[in-house]
Amino acid sequence: MVSAIAVDPSLSFEIGRASNQHGAVVEEIQGLIKVYKDGHVERPQIVPYVSPTLPPESGVTTRDVIVDPFANVWARFYVPKPNRNQKLPLVVYFHGGGFCVGSAAWSCYHEFLAKLAANAGCLIVSVNYRLAPENRLPAAYEDGVKCVMWLKQEALKGSSEWWSKQCDLCSVFLAGDSAGANIAHNVATRLGSDNPYPLILKGTILIQPFFGGETRTDSEKNTVQSPRSALSLPASDTYWRLALPCGTNRDHAWCNPLGKGSAITAETRLLPTLVCISEMDILRDRNLEFCVALGKAGKKVEHVVYKGVGHAFQVISKSQISQTRTNQMITHVKSFIYR
């Protein structure tokens, strides 16, 4: 059985010995993940895991809830105080990490989503889905659909009044960043126009969606990796090798939504979409091409390009420009969900 372990420098001897017993390292993204020949996986704990607590002045209540105990899928709720009797839109959010790393409990996501909930005025459900390579795609998509269906059942039962009482069930959005945006898009396509009553899906919010393809784009070839961006081309390729079904390549429909046999057409059932793009991201051109394809297919799509920032700036960077762009993004998201 494969497992994820946190790497402590004081345990270097033990880890080195464990590494030998698992054979050679066959895939690695330095500091993030190692996969050994026998399938054993190590994920250094580079980001702190935090509990669902926030200071009272944040005005946001948080709580973790089990969605599927058998698959160990859970979600973290962010419920801001509503204004008077106003009910709030519901955003189902999927974290990034190339499908292979990340957690709804990572401090960077906890801080960002608490800020988004408070400032955009929305209730957020952050899904902790299964990771690859232990659970290759479509496991993450299945977990996303499962979470939406769980929310539906909870709303129907009325057993979760602590969140559903404040929630506008007729205004639900699927959202995420990077791999999480890919998940949001694919969950939306799987659900199609069949709204899971009483939840009414109104749109998708895709932040730097993680797409790929065998043919390189200009931004993949020419974007210089910098501290402002969390994704390099080699890391991107490794994530896809670990996440896609064995024997497939980056032109698989789950990676390349514009590839042969997976092109978006007028018949493709998609929700209105907001795409948030970073100027210094290797994914910039793919994100722009995706928006053009949606528009040509007659889909409702709008996009914003954030200047001077790279991939995942909203969760990894504390620079002044990143904070400014993050605030702009939150304003755009608020405008989209309240339109």
Tell me: do 167 and 271 sit in the same domain. yes
Tell me: do 24 and 127 sit in the same domain. no
pLDDT digits (tens, 9 = 90+) for 254-290: 999 999 878 788 888 899 999 999 999 999 999 999 9
In whole angstroms, give the CA distance from residue 239 to residue 225. 17
Tell me: do 123 and 271 sit in the same domain. yes
Does residue 51 belong to any structural domain of this protein? no
The helix or strand, by DSSP H or E, that contains position 92, with its residue range, turns out to be strand 88-94
In whole angstroms, give the CA distance from residue 211 to residue 177. 11
Tell me: do 88 and 231 sit in the same domain. yes
Q: 88: buried, middle or exposed (CB in 10 Å: 19+, 13-18, 0-12)?
A: buried
Tell me: do 319 and 193 sit in the same domain. yes
Query: In the annotation, is 178 catalytic?
Result: yes
In the chain, % helix, strand, coil (3-state, to 5) comes to: 35, 20, 45
CATH number reported for the structural domain that contains residue 195 in this entry: 3.40.50.1820
pLDDT digits (tens, 9 = 90+) for 230-255: 899 999 999 999 999 999 999 999 99
In whole angstroms, give the CA distance from residue 203 to residue 121. 16
Does residue 49 belong to any structural domain of this protein? no
Residue 1: predicted pLDDT = 30
Does residue 1 belong to any structural domain of this protein? no
Does residue 4 belong to any structural domain of this protein? no
Tell me: do 143 and 188 sit in the same domain. yes
Q: Provide mean pLDDT across the span 52-74.
A: 95
Tell me: do 289 and 230 sit in the same domain. yes
Name which residue leads in pLDDT, 163 or 170.
Answer: 170
The tally of domains found in the chain comes to 2
- CA distances from residue 37 to 27, 41, 77, 130 in whole angstroms, order as listed: 9, 10, 37, 21
Does residue 47 belong to any structural domain of this protein? no
The pTM for the full model equals 0.93
Tell me: do 150 and 172 sit in the same domain. yes
Written as one letter, the residue type at 194 is: D
In degrees, to the nearest 5, what angle opens at C-alpha 271 toward C-alphas 131 and 304? 80
Tell me: do 320 and 193 sit in the same domain. yes
In whole angstroms, give the CA distance from residue 270 to residue 275. 13
Tell me: do 24 and 122 sit in the same domain. no
Residue 193: predicted pLDDT = 67
Residue 11: predicted pLDDT = 31
In whole angstroms, give the CA distance from residue 104 to residue 122. 17
Which structural domain range is residue 218 located in? 56-337
Sequence-ordered alpha helix ranges (H) in the chain: 12-21, 107-120, 139-157, 161-164, 179-191, 218-222, 233-243, 284-296, 313-316, 320-337
Q: Of 126, 178, 236, 278, which residue is the catalytic one?
A: 178
Tell me: do 152 and 31 sit in the same domain. no
Does residue 50 belong to any structural domain of this protein? no
